[in-house]
Structure 1
Amino acid sequence: MNRQISLSPSLMTMDLDQFKEQITFLNSRVNSYHIDIMDGHFVPNITLSPWFVEQVRKISDTPLSAHMMVNDAPFWVKELIKVKCDYICFPSEVANGVAFSMIDDIHAAGLKAGAVLNPETPISMIEPYIDLLDKVTIMTIDPGFAGQRFLEGTLRKIVELRKMREEHGYGYEIEMDGSTNKAHWKMISDANPDVYVIGRSGLFGLTDNIEDSWNQMVREYEECTGFAFDNGLVQSAR
Protein backbone atom coordinates (compact mmCIF):
# COMPACT_ATOMS: atom_id res chain seq x y z
CA MET A 1 0.00 0.00 0.00
CA ASN A 2 1.25 3.46 -0.91
CA ARG A 3 -0.12 6.82 0.12
CA GLN A 4 0.99 10.35 -0.48
CA ILE A 5 1.62 12.72 2.42
CA SER A 6 2.91 16.27 2.62
CA LEU A 7 5.36 17.65 5.17
CA SER A 8 5.18 21.27 6.26
CA PRO A 9 7.86 22.45 8.72
CA SER A 10 6.71 25.11 11.16
CA LEU A 11 9.19 27.94 10.69
CA MET A 12 8.26 29.50 14.04
CA THR A 13 10.20 26.65 15.63
CA MET A 14 13.33 26.70 13.46
CA ASP A 15 16.70 28.06 14.54
CA LEU A 16 16.70 31.57 13.12
CA ASP A 17 20.49 31.76 13.35
CA GLN A 18 20.50 28.90 10.80
CA PHE A 19 17.64 30.30 8.73
CA LYS A 20 19.19 30.06 5.26
CA GLU A 21 20.99 26.79 5.93
CA GLN A 22 17.85 25.06 7.17
CA ILE A 23 15.56 26.38 4.43
CA THR A 24 18.07 25.45 1.73
CA PHE A 25 18.32 21.89 3.06
CA LEU A 26 14.56 21.45 3.38
CA ASN A 27 13.60 22.94 0.01
CA SER A 28 14.04 19.66 -1.85
CA ARG A 29 12.46 17.54 0.89
CA VAL A 30 9.21 19.20 1.96
CA ASN A 31 5.99 20.21 0.24
CA SER A 32 5.32 23.53 1.97
CA TYR A 33 6.38 25.75 4.86
CA HIS A 34 4.02 26.56 7.72
CA ILE A 35 4.19 30.20 8.87
CA ASP A 36 2.41 31.14 12.11
CA ILE A 37 1.11 34.70 12.30
CA MET A 38 -0.07 35.73 15.77
CA ASP A 39 -1.28 39.16 16.82
CA GLY A 40 -0.91 38.93 20.60
CA HIS A 41 -4.72 39.10 21.03
CA PHE A 42 -6.27 35.95 19.54
CA VAL A 43 -3.42 34.19 21.35
CA PRO A 44 -1.01 35.89 23.80
CA ASN A 45 2.06 35.25 21.65
CA ILE A 46 3.39 37.41 18.78
CA THR A 47 5.38 35.59 16.11
CA LEU A 48 5.92 35.86 12.35
CA SER A 49 4.49 38.28 9.81
CA PRO A 50 3.87 38.90 6.09
CA TRP A 51 7.38 40.41 6.04
CA PHE A 52 8.72 36.99 7.04
CA VAL A 53 6.86 35.45 4.09
CA GLU A 54 8.79 37.79 1.81
CA GLN A 55 12.11 36.77 3.37
CA VAL A 56 11.46 33.05 2.90
CA ARG A 57 10.40 33.66 -0.69
CA LYS A 58 13.85 35.07 -1.45
CA ILE A 59 15.45 31.66 -0.90
CA SER A 60 12.62 29.23 -1.61
CA ASP A 61 10.06 28.44 -4.30
CA THR A 62 8.33 25.97 -1.97
CA PRO A 63 4.67 26.88 -1.31
CA LEU A 64 4.12 28.94 1.84
CA SER A 65 1.12 28.41 4.10
CA ALA A 66 0.16 31.11 6.60
CA HIS A 67 -1.71 30.05 9.73
CA MET A 68 -3.32 33.15 11.17
CA MET A 69 -4.05 33.36 14.88
CA VAL A 70 -5.47 36.86 14.82
CA ASN A 71 -8.64 38.74 15.72
CA ASP A 72 -8.86 40.97 12.65
CA ALA A 73 -8.68 38.23 10.04
CA PRO A 74 -9.75 40.36 7.00
CA PHE A 75 -6.89 42.80 7.61
CA TRP A 76 -4.29 40.03 7.71
CA VAL A 77 -5.80 38.30 4.69
CA LYS A 78 -5.26 41.48 2.69
CA GLU A 79 -1.66 41.77 3.92
CA LEU A 80 -0.92 38.16 3.00
CA ILE A 81 -2.47 38.61 -0.43
CA LYS A 82 -0.05 41.49 -1.00
CA VAL A 83 2.94 39.18 -0.46
CA LYS A 84 1.29 36.37 -2.48
CA CYS A 85 1.32 33.76 0.27
CA ASP A 86 0.24 30.52 -1.42
CA TYR A 87 -2.14 29.33 1.30
CA ILE A 88 -3.91 31.78 3.59
CA CYS A 89 -5.61 30.03 6.50
CA PHE A 90 -7.87 32.01 8.81
CA PRO A 91 -9.13 31.08 12.30
CA SER A 92 -12.70 29.83 11.96
CA GLU A 93 -13.56 31.19 15.40
CA VAL A 94 -13.46 34.83 14.20
CA ALA A 95 -14.68 34.29 10.62
CA ASN A 96 -18.43 34.58 11.21
CA GLY A 97 -19.76 37.29 8.88
CA VAL A 98 -16.54 37.61 6.85
CA ALA A 99 -15.63 34.05 5.80
CA PHE A 100 -17.14 34.21 2.32
CA SER A 101 -15.60 37.58 1.52
CA MET A 102 -12.16 36.45 2.72
CA ILE A 103 -12.32 33.26 0.68
CA ASP A 104 -13.46 35.21 -2.40
CA ASP A 105 -10.60 37.71 -1.98
CA ILE A 106 -8.03 34.93 -1.60
CA HIS A 107 -9.28 33.04 -4.65
CA ALA A 108 -9.53 36.22 -6.74
CA ALA A 109 -5.82 36.73 -6.09
CA GLY A 110 -5.07 33.25 -7.43
CA LEU A 111 -4.22 31.90 -3.96
CA LYS A 112 -5.65 29.10 -1.81
CA ALA A 113 -7.93 29.54 1.18
CA GLY A 114 -7.94 27.53 4.38
CA ALA A 115 -9.73 27.48 7.71
CA VAL A 116 -8.27 26.41 11.06
CA LEU A 117 -10.18 24.63 13.80
CA ASN A 118 -8.92 24.97 17.37
CA PRO A 119 -9.25 21.89 19.59
CA GLU A 120 -12.63 22.90 21.03
CA THR A 121 -14.09 24.04 17.69
CA PRO A 122 -16.40 21.59 15.89
CA ILE A 123 -16.37 20.95 12.14
CA SER A 124 -19.91 22.37 11.99
CA MET A 125 -18.36 25.84 12.42
CA ILE A 126 -17.05 25.75 8.82
CA GLU A 127 -19.79 23.69 7.14
CA PRO A 128 -21.46 26.72 5.48
CA TYR A 129 -18.35 27.29 3.35
CA ILE A 130 -16.40 24.01 3.56
CA ASP A 131 -17.01 23.34 -0.13
CA LEU A 132 -14.99 26.49 -0.97
CA LEU A 133 -11.92 25.62 1.09
CA ASP A 134 -8.60 24.37 -0.23
CA LYS A 135 -7.37 23.32 3.21
CA VAL A 136 -8.75 22.57 6.66
CA THR A 137 -6.24 22.61 9.53
CA ILE A 138 -6.96 20.69 12.72
CA MET A 139 -5.12 21.94 15.77
CA THR A 140 -4.03 19.01 17.93
CA ILE A 141 -2.70 21.31 20.66
CA ASP A 142 -3.97 24.58 22.10
CA PRO A 143 -2.84 27.39 19.77
CA GLY A 144 -0.25 30.03 20.52
CA PHE A 145 2.87 28.27 21.74
CA ALA A 146 4.96 25.28 20.70
CA GLY A 147 5.38 22.34 23.07
CA GLN A 148 1.86 22.10 24.47
CA ARG A 149 0.04 18.90 25.39
CA PHE A 150 -1.11 16.72 22.48
CA LEU A 151 -4.90 16.34 22.45
CA GLU A 152 -5.58 12.90 21.01
CA GLY A 153 -9.34 13.43 20.75
CA THR A 154 -8.86 16.06 18.05
CA LEU A 155 -7.75 13.34 15.63
CA ARG A 156 -11.40 12.28 15.30
CA LYS A 157 -11.99 15.44 13.31
CA ILE A 158 -9.37 14.37 10.76
CA VAL A 159 -11.19 11.08 10.25
CA GLU A 160 -14.54 12.87 9.93
CA LEU A 161 -13.17 15.41 7.44
CA ARG A 162 -11.82 12.61 5.25
CA LYS A 163 -15.23 10.88 5.34
CA MET A 164 -17.02 14.13 4.43
CA ARG A 165 -14.62 14.76 1.56
CA GLU A 166 -15.20 11.31 0.12
CA GLU A 167 -18.98 11.54 0.47
CA HIS A 168 -19.39 15.04 -0.97
CA GLY A 169 -16.44 15.36 -3.33
CA TYR A 170 -14.92 18.33 -1.47
CA GLY A 171 -11.49 19.48 -2.59
CA TYR A 172 -9.78 20.50 0.66
CA GLU A 173 -6.53 19.10 2.03
CA ILE A 174 -6.61 17.95 5.66
CA GLU A 175 -3.74 19.28 7.74
CA MET A 176 -2.83 18.57 11.36
CA ASP A 177 -0.79 20.95 13.47
CA GLY A 178 0.68 20.34 16.88
CA SER A 179 3.17 18.07 18.68
CA THR A 180 4.00 15.96 15.63
CA ASN A 181 6.74 13.79 17.07
CA LYS A 182 7.86 10.30 18.08
CA ALA A 183 5.28 10.05 20.85
CA HIS A 184 2.40 10.65 18.45
CA TRP A 185 3.51 9.56 14.96
CA LYS A 186 1.52 6.30 15.10
CA MET A 187 -1.82 7.78 16.15
CA ILE A 188 -1.46 10.67 13.70
CA SER A 189 -0.63 8.27 10.87
CA ASP A 190 -3.68 6.17 11.77
CA ALA A 191 -5.91 9.26 11.48
CA ASN A 192 -4.31 9.83 8.04
CA PRO A 193 -4.13 13.61 7.44
CA ASP A 194 -2.77 14.82 4.11
CA VAL A 195 -0.39 17.41 5.59
CA TYR A 196 1.78 17.02 8.69
CA VAL A 197 3.01 20.24 10.29
CA ILE A 198 6.31 19.40 12.02
CA GLY A 199 7.97 21.66 14.54
CA ARG A 200 10.62 21.67 17.22
CA SER A 201 9.81 18.40 18.99
CA GLY A 202 9.55 16.45 15.74
CA LEU A 203 12.31 18.05 13.66
CA PHE A 204 14.17 21.26 14.48
CA GLY A 205 14.96 20.40 18.10
CA LEU A 206 16.14 16.83 17.59
CA THR A 207 19.82 17.71 17.01
CA ASP A 208 21.95 20.78 16.34
CA ASN A 209 22.22 19.94 12.64
CA ILE A 210 19.27 20.04 10.23
CA GLU A 211 20.42 17.04 8.17
CA ASP A 212 20.90 14.91 11.28
CA SER A 213 17.53 16.08 12.61
CA TRP A 214 15.82 15.20 9.35
CA ASN A 215 17.35 11.72 9.31
CA GLN A 216 16.33 11.14 12.92
CA MET A 217 12.78 12.28 12.16
CA VAL A 218 12.56 9.83 9.27
CA ARG A 219 13.85 6.96 11.44
CA GLU A 220 11.40 7.73 14.22
CA TYR A 221 8.52 8.00 11.78
CA GLU A 222 9.35 4.66 10.18
CA GLU A 223 9.83 2.90 13.51
CA CYS A 224 6.55 4.20 14.92
CA THR A 225 4.27 3.80 11.91
CA GLY A 226 5.60 0.82 9.99
CA PHE A 227 5.74 2.97 6.86
CA ALA A 228 8.91 3.82 4.98
CA PHE A 229 9.65 7.21 3.48
CA ASP A 230 10.34 7.24 -0.24
CA ASN A 231 12.31 10.40 -0.92
CA GLY A 232 10.69 11.98 2.13
CA LEU A 233 7.31 12.35 0.45
CA VAL A 234 5.63 8.99 -0.16
CA GLN A 235 4.76 6.42 2.48
CA SER A 236 4.96 2.79 1.44
CA ALA A 237 4.19 -0.13 3.70
CA ARG A 238 7.32 -2.03 4.75
Structure 2
Amino acid sequence: MSNVQISPSLMTMDLDKFKTQLEFLDQHVDSYHIDIMDGHFVPNITLSPWFIQEVRKISKRPMSAHLMVTDAPFWVQQLIDIKCECICMPAEVINGLAFRLIDQIHDAGLKAGVVLNPETPISVVEPYIELLDKITIMTVDPGFAGQRFLASALQKIVALRALRDQNGYKYLIEMDGSSNRAHFKMIDEADPDIYIVGRSGLFGLNDHIDTAWSQMVKDYEEITGKKLNK
Protein backbone atom coordinates (compact mmCIF):
# COMPACT_ATOMS: atom_id res chain seq x y z
CA MET A 1 0.00 0.00 0.00
CA SER A 2 1.25 3.46 -0.89
CA ASN A 3 1.56 6.16 1.76
CA VAL A 4 2.02 9.02 -0.68
CA GLN A 5 0.18 12.24 0.00
CA ILE A 6 -2.07 13.76 -2.67
CA SER A 7 -2.30 17.54 -3.06
CA PRO A 8 -4.57 18.82 -5.85
CA SER A 9 -3.50 21.98 -7.65
CA LEU A 10 -6.54 24.23 -7.32
CA MET A 11 -5.39 26.42 -10.22
CA THR A 12 -6.69 23.66 -12.49
CA MET A 13 -10.02 22.98 -10.78
CA ASP A 14 -13.42 23.86 -12.28
CA LEU A 15 -14.30 27.13 -10.57
CA ASP A 16 -17.92 26.72 -11.67
CA LYS A 17 -18.02 23.75 -9.29
CA PHE A 18 -15.81 25.24 -6.59
CA LYS A 19 -17.88 24.25 -3.55
CA THR A 20 -18.90 20.81 -4.83
CA GLN A 21 -15.37 19.83 -5.76
CA LEU A 22 -13.85 21.00 -2.48
CA GLU A 23 -16.46 19.24 -0.37
CA PHE A 24 -15.69 15.98 -2.16
CA LEU A 25 -11.91 16.37 -2.19
CA ASP A 26 -11.81 17.22 1.51
CA GLN A 27 -12.78 13.62 2.21
CA HIS A 28 -9.76 12.25 0.33
CA VAL A 29 -6.81 14.61 -0.03
CA ASP A 30 -4.00 15.50 2.36
CA SER A 31 -3.62 19.16 1.40
CA TYR A 32 -4.23 21.68 -1.38
CA HIS A 33 -1.63 23.28 -3.63
CA ILE A 34 -2.16 26.99 -4.33
CA ASP A 35 -0.15 28.56 -7.18
CA ILE A 36 0.53 32.26 -6.69
CA MET A 37 2.08 33.92 -9.76
CA ASP A 38 2.87 37.61 -10.12
CA GLY A 39 3.24 37.94 -13.90
CA HIS A 40 6.99 38.65 -13.54
CA PHE A 41 8.71 35.51 -12.27
CA VAL A 42 6.49 33.70 -14.77
CA PRO A 43 4.29 35.46 -17.37
CA ASN A 44 1.03 34.15 -15.96
CA ILE A 45 -1.04 35.57 -13.08
CA THR A 46 -3.10 33.12 -11.05
CA LEU A 47 -4.32 32.67 -7.48
CA SER A 48 -3.79 34.82 -4.40
CA PRO A 49 -3.95 34.83 -0.59
CA TRP A 50 -7.58 35.91 -0.99
CA PHE A 51 -8.29 32.62 -2.79
CA ILE A 52 -6.88 30.69 0.18
CA GLN A 53 -9.29 32.53 2.46
CA GLU A 54 -12.19 31.57 0.18
CA VAL A 55 -11.13 27.91 0.20
CA ARG A 56 -10.99 27.99 4.00
CA LYS A 57 -14.70 28.81 4.13
CA ILE A 58 -15.33 25.29 2.82
CA SER A 59 -12.23 23.21 3.49
CA LYS A 60 -10.53 21.99 6.64
CA ARG A 61 -7.43 20.70 4.83
CA PRO A 62 -4.04 22.44 5.10
CA MET A 63 -2.90 24.58 2.21
CA SER A 64 0.51 24.95 0.65
CA ALA A 65 1.28 28.11 -1.32
CA HIS A 66 3.69 27.77 -4.25
CA LEU A 67 5.14 31.22 -4.87
CA MET A 68 6.21 32.03 -8.42
CA VAL A 69 7.05 35.66 -7.67
CA THR A 70 10.01 38.04 -7.76
CA ASP A 71 9.23 39.86 -4.48
CA ALA A 72 9.17 36.92 -2.08
CA PRO A 73 9.09 38.96 1.19
CA PHE A 74 5.92 40.79 0.12
CA TRP A 75 4.02 37.58 -0.56
CA VAL A 76 5.46 35.68 2.40
CA GLN A 77 4.15 38.33 4.78
CA GLN A 78 0.69 38.21 3.22
CA LEU A 79 0.61 34.43 3.61
CA ILE A 80 1.82 34.65 7.19
CA ASP A 81 -0.98 37.13 7.91
CA ILE A 82 -3.60 34.58 6.83
CA LYS A 83 -1.69 31.69 8.44
CA CYS A 84 -1.19 29.63 5.28
CA GLU A 85 0.06 26.33 6.65
CA CYS A 86 3.05 25.93 4.30
CA ILE A 87 4.78 28.65 2.28
CA CYS A 88 7.04 27.44 -0.54
CA MET A 89 9.37 30.05 -1.99
CA PRO A 90 11.22 30.07 -5.33
CA ALA A 91 14.82 29.09 -4.61
CA GLU A 92 15.95 31.17 -7.58
CA VAL A 93 15.01 34.53 -6.00
CA ILE A 94 15.61 34.15 -2.24
CA ASN A 95 19.41 34.05 -2.20
CA GLY A 96 20.45 36.57 0.46
CA LEU A 97 16.99 36.37 2.08
CA ALA A 98 16.50 32.66 2.69
CA PHE A 99 17.50 32.43 6.35
CA ARG A 100 15.45 35.42 7.47
CA LEU A 101 12.38 34.35 5.45
CA ILE A 102 12.52 30.80 6.78
CA ASP A 103 12.89 32.12 10.33
CA GLN A 104 10.01 34.54 9.75
CA ILE A 105 7.75 31.70 8.61
CA HIS A 106 8.78 29.40 11.46
CA ASP A 107 8.39 32.17 14.05
CA ALA A 108 4.77 32.44 12.89
CA GLY A 109 4.27 28.73 13.59
CA LEU A 110 4.08 27.82 9.89
CA LYS A 111 6.07 25.53 7.60
CA ALA A 112 8.70 26.78 5.17
CA GLY A 113 9.53 25.22 1.84
CA VAL A 114 11.36 25.97 -1.38
CA VAL A 115 10.67 25.13 -5.00
CA LEU A 116 13.36 24.10 -7.48
CA ASN A 117 12.68 24.74 -11.15
CA PRO A 118 13.90 22.07 -13.59
CA GLU A 119 17.21 23.83 -14.29
CA THR A 120 17.95 24.63 -10.62
CA PRO A 121 20.33 22.22 -8.83
CA ILE A 122 19.90 21.05 -5.24
CA SER A 123 23.18 22.78 -4.34
CA VAL A 124 21.35 26.14 -4.41
CA VAL A 125 19.45 25.25 -1.22
CA GLU A 126 22.12 23.22 0.57
CA PRO A 127 23.20 26.12 2.86
CA TYR A 128 19.79 26.07 4.55
CA ILE A 129 18.40 22.66 3.61
CA GLU A 130 18.32 21.46 7.23
CA LEU A 131 15.80 24.21 8.05
CA LEU A 132 13.28 23.27 5.39
CA ASP A 133 9.95 21.51 5.94
CA LYS A 134 9.37 20.79 2.26
CA ILE A 135 11.20 20.84 -1.07
CA THR A 136 9.14 20.90 -4.26
CA ILE A 137 10.71 19.61 -7.45
CA MET A 138 9.24 21.00 -10.65
CA THR A 139 9.04 18.38 -13.38
CA VAL A 140 7.71 20.92 -15.88
CA ASP A 141 8.67 24.49 -16.70
CA PRO A 142 6.77 26.73 -14.27
CA GLY A 143 3.91 29.08 -15.00
CA PHE A 144 1.37 27.16 -17.05
CA ALA A 145 -0.57 23.91 -16.87
CA GLY A 146 0.11 21.31 -19.56
CA GLN A 147 3.87 21.79 -19.98
CA ARG A 148 6.13 18.99 -21.25
CA PHE A 149 7.15 16.48 -18.56
CA LEU A 150 10.90 16.61 -17.83
CA ALA A 151 11.84 13.16 -16.56
CA SER A 152 15.42 14.21 -15.77
CA ALA A 153 14.13 16.34 -12.89
CA LEU A 154 13.09 13.16 -11.07
CA GLN A 155 16.77 12.51 -10.34
CA LYS A 156 16.62 15.37 -7.83
CA ILE A 157 13.89 13.57 -5.90
CA VAL A 158 16.12 10.50 -5.60
CA ALA A 159 19.05 12.67 -4.50
CA LEU A 160 16.97 14.55 -1.94
CA ARG A 161 15.74 11.31 -0.39
CA ALA A 162 19.33 10.08 -0.09
CA LEU A 163 20.43 13.37 1.52
CA ARG A 164 17.54 13.19 3.98
CA ASP A 165 18.34 9.62 4.94
CA GLN A 166 22.04 10.37 5.36
CA ASN A 167 21.64 13.55 7.41
CA GLY A 168 18.35 13.17 9.27
CA TYR A 169 16.75 16.13 7.54
CA LYS A 170 13.01 16.59 8.11
CA TYR A 171 11.77 17.99 4.79
CA LEU A 172 9.06 16.32 2.74
CA ILE A 173 9.73 15.88 -0.98
CA GLU A 174 7.02 17.01 -3.36
CA MET A 175 6.80 16.74 -7.14
CA ASP A 176 4.89 19.23 -9.26
CA GLY A 177 4.13 18.77 -12.95
CA SER A 178 2.24 16.32 -15.16
CA SER A 179 1.54 13.81 -12.42
CA ASN A 180 -0.71 11.48 -14.40
CA ARG A 181 -1.11 7.98 -15.82
CA ALA A 182 1.63 8.48 -18.40
CA HIS A 183 4.21 9.29 -15.71
CA PHE A 184 3.05 7.55 -12.52
CA LYS A 185 5.54 4.70 -12.96
CA MET A 186 8.56 6.99 -13.27
CA ILE A 187 7.37 9.17 -10.41
CA ASP A 188 6.75 6.18 -8.17
CA GLU A 189 10.27 4.91 -8.82
CA ALA A 190 11.70 8.30 -7.79
CA ASP A 191 9.55 8.05 -4.62
CA PRO A 192 8.41 11.55 -3.62
CA ASP A 193 6.30 11.99 -0.50
CA ILE A 194 3.69 14.24 -2.11
CA TYR A 195 2.13 14.13 -5.57
CA ILE A 196 0.59 17.34 -6.87
CA VAL A 197 -2.21 16.46 -9.28
CA GLY A 198 -3.73 18.94 -11.69
CA ARG A 199 -5.66 18.94 -14.92
CA SER A 200 -4.05 15.95 -16.62
CA GLY A 201 -3.97 13.79 -13.50
CA LEU A 202 -7.32 14.67 -11.91
CA PHE A 203 -9.55 17.58 -12.88
CA GLY A 204 -9.46 16.91 -16.62
CA LEU A 205 -10.33 13.22 -16.33
CA ASN A 206 -14.09 13.78 -15.98
CA ASP A 207 -16.53 16.63 -15.46
CA HIS A 208 -17.71 14.99 -12.21
CA ILE A 209 -15.10 15.18 -9.46
CA ASP A 210 -16.05 11.84 -7.88
CA THR A 211 -15.61 10.05 -11.20
CA ALA A 212 -12.38 11.93 -11.92
CA TRP A 213 -11.01 10.97 -8.51
CA SER A 214 -11.88 7.32 -9.01
CA GLN A 215 -10.14 7.37 -12.40
CA MET A 216 -7.03 8.98 -10.90
CA VAL A 217 -6.87 6.30 -8.18
CA LYS A 218 -7.40 3.55 -10.76
CA ASP A 219 -4.66 4.97 -12.99
CA TYR A 220 -2.19 5.17 -10.11
CA GLU A 221 -2.94 1.68 -8.86
CA GLU A 222 -2.81 0.04 -12.30
CA ILE A 223 0.46 1.70 -13.26
CA THR A 224 2.34 1.34 -9.96
CA GLY A 225 0.81 -1.90 -8.69
CA LYS A 226 0.25 -0.22 -5.32
CA LYS A 227 -2.99 0.55 -3.50
CA LEU A 228 -3.58 4.25 -2.93
CA ASN A 229 -4.84 4.61 0.61
CA LYS A 230 -7.25 7.51 -0.04
Q: TM tier, shorter chain? A: over 0.9
Other-structure match for 1:139: 138
Task: Flag structure 1 segments of 5+ consecutive residues without an equivalent.
Answer: 233-238
Q: Give the letter for the 1:206 counterpart.
A: L
Tell me which residue corresponds to 1:188: 187
Q: Normalising to structure 2: TM-score of the pair?
A: 0.99
Which residue number in structure 2 is paired with residue 37 of structure 1?
36
For 1:190 and 1:85, locate their aligned partners in 2 and report how far apart those are by CA, in whole Å.
31
**One-letter identity of the residue aligned with 1:128:** P
Q: Aligned with 2:35: secondary structure?
A: strand
Identity of aligned residues (%): 67
Question: Superposed, which structure 2 residues align to 1:59-208 within 5 Å?
Answer: 59-208=58-207
Match runs of 1:40-55 below 5 Å: 40-55=39-54
Report the Cα offset of residue 210 of structure 1. 0.1
Quick one: distance in 1 between partners of 2:109 and 2:58? Answer: 22
Q: What amino acid does structure 1 have at the position aligned with 2:98?
A: A
SS of equivalent residue, structure 1 residue 4: coil
| Cα offset, 1:4, TM superposition | 1.6
Aligned residue for 2:36, secondary structure, equals strand
* CA–CA distance in structure 1, aligned partners of residues 101 and 222 of structure 2: 42
* Alignment match, 1:210: 209
Distance 1:225 1:22 in 2: 26
What TM-score comes out, normalization by structure 1 length? 0.96
* Secondary structure of the corresponding residue to residue 219 of structure 1: helix
Task: Provide the C-alpha distance between the structure 1 equivalents of 2:11 and 2:228, rounded to a whole number of angstroms.
Answer: 25
Deviation at 1:228, TM superposition (A): 1.3
CA deviations on 1:19-38 (whole Å, 9 max, x unpaired) are 01000000010000000000
Q: CA RMSD in A?
A: 0.6
| SS of alignment partner, residue 174 of structure 1 | strand
Distance 2:220 2:174 in 1: 17
Higher percent of residues as strand: 1
Residue type matched to 1:74 in 2? P
Unaligned runs of 5+ in 2: none
CA distance in 1, matches of 2:138, 2:226: 24
What residue is the counterpart of 1:235 in the other structure? none
CA-CA distance at 1:3 after TM superposition: 4.2
In 2: Cα distance, 1:99 partner to 1:75 partner? 14
Work out the CA distance in 2 between the residues paired with 1:53 and 1:84: 10
Give the partner amino acid of 2:167. Answer: H
What are the superposed Cα offsets for residues 115-154 of structure 1, whole Å, 9 maximum, x if unpaired? 0000000000000000000000000000000000000000
